[in-house]
Structure 1
Amino acid sequence: MSASLGGESSVTSRTYSGLSASERDAERRSRLLAAGRELIGTQGYAAVSVEKLCAASKVSSRHFYQLYENKEAAFLDVYDSITKQSLDSAVASLEATEGEPMMQRIPKAFLAYVGPMVEDIRAARIAFVEIMGASPLIEQRRLSYRELLVDLVVSEGAAAVQRGELVDRDFRFATLALTGAANAIVYDWTLREDREDSAALEAQLTELALDLLAR
């Protein structure tokens, strides 16, 4: 039942500490995303409960369930925030380097994509380890992001062939080979205690991207 108070049309439009209801929800979501990245990225998806997320973020369980249906939905939001940032960075890199040779554009775009994920070990664990086999819905989301990446490379590769920069090849196959190899490599790197630093990993993955996509 709505109520009118001081000209407001509903209790949901009230402000507290200068924040509207939607702004408070956004602030709670931001805290939950940060807690999810920290807890899932260090303890693993299976070990993290809704109660742990709420305690770490200082968000009540009531407000948690106003934002998310369950832990799976919260994990998907964390995963989306990581993967979308990487995909957006790759697209921005390709737009910024338009007109440059593909041998220069590919390393820049690939580093823009993989960098945000491997430079934060928590993000790497979420995007390459915890995502695997977590649930059918989560796997579907992972594959949907992979398809976006495949479509992007196929489009850029076809345009480069038309310009005479690259020899034609099956860019879908090459992108799937690259993502599959990168997933296995980063998965292993994330779990190793003696892992090399992220810059060395990025250099190796970039060489692999050039071999599969441009050479």
Structure 2
Amino acid sequence: MAGRLRAPTGRYGGKSAAQRQAERRRRFLDAALQLFGDSPGYRATTVAALSEAAGLSTRQFYEEFRTLEDVLAALHLQVNAWAEEAVRTAAAGARGLPLADRAAVIFRAYAANVTADPRRVRITFVEIVGVSPRLEEQRLARRARWVDLICAEDRSAAVRGEAATRDHRLAATAFIGGVNGLLHDYSAGWVDATLDEVVDELVHLLLAVLRAPGPSPEG
């Protein structure tokens, strides 16, 4: 398929073409969350199966997307956007709190959003991995956004004297990798702990990252 088919224009059923297109796109993404995030998974899903689950036709699929990879890319961004919105809302509400309390509030908001639906965990930490160079670039770009958010918190805390003044980007990247692994294992039932215990441990690690001084130079 060289490109998407052209969607019809004009009003129909009281809805504009843009409204109908947005609704179709939402239905495809809702169906993808179920099929990619549960069973059979992204790699075993076909365009026909996704269209049937969405209650739409394959022609309508190609009016919105070129490939299933495009759907996975859009869904991955959507799941991350939900989590980021939850984090930014929590951060705004925790303004002025001491670092330890603020970190706990923010990270609980992230963990609660991501783990509230096991399908989101699978999309974020499993299905997106290794699909293509394009999606690897997208996955790493989204990870970089989370690293940027941690570094921004670090700079604010350093101004208040609550964190070490240094570049925490490398440590923050390592922390995000740990978050991804532990939350995936928790959601898969491989961790014998409650979500509160998992979050407490991750907050403890985050505080250690933010408060740790930089490596001492040799000599």
Bin the TM-score by the shorter chain. Answer: 0.7 to 0.9
> 2:28 aligned to 8, 12, 32, which one?
32
Q: Which residue is 1:7 aligned to?
A: none
| Distance of aligned partners of 1:199 and 1:31 in 2 relative to their CA distance in 1, 3 Å threshold | farther
TM-score when scaled to structure 2? 0.84
Q: Is there any run of 5+ residues in structure 2 with no aligned partner, and where?
A: 1-7, 213-219
Contact 1:107 1:209 in 2 (8 A): no
Instruction: State yes or no: 1:213 paired with 2:183.
Output: no
Amino acid paired to 1:42? D
TM-score when scaled to structure 1? 0.86
Q: Deviations over 1:37-77 (max 9, x none)?
A: 11111122111111111010111111111111110001111
| Distance of aligned partners of 1:196 and 1:25 in 2 relative to their CA distance in 1, 3 Å threshold | farther
Offset at residue 109 of structure 1 (A): 1.2
Distance 2:141 2:185 in 1: 23
Distance 1:147 1:46 in 2: 26
Percent identical across equivalent pairs? 33
In the TM superposition, 1:1-215 aligns within 5 A as: 12-16=9-13, 18-43=14-39, 44-192=41-189, 198-214=195-211
Offset at residue 205 of structure 1 (A): 2.9
Q: Deviations over 1:163-194 (max 9, x none)?
A: 11223344212211111111222333344478
The secondary structure found in structure 1 opposite 2:96 is: coil
The secondary structure found in structure 1 opposite 2:43 is: coil
Contact 1:110 1:209 in 2 (8 A): no
The secondary structure found in structure 2 opposite 1:12 is: coil
Offset at residue 25 of structure 1 (A): 1.1
- Equivalenced residues, count: 204
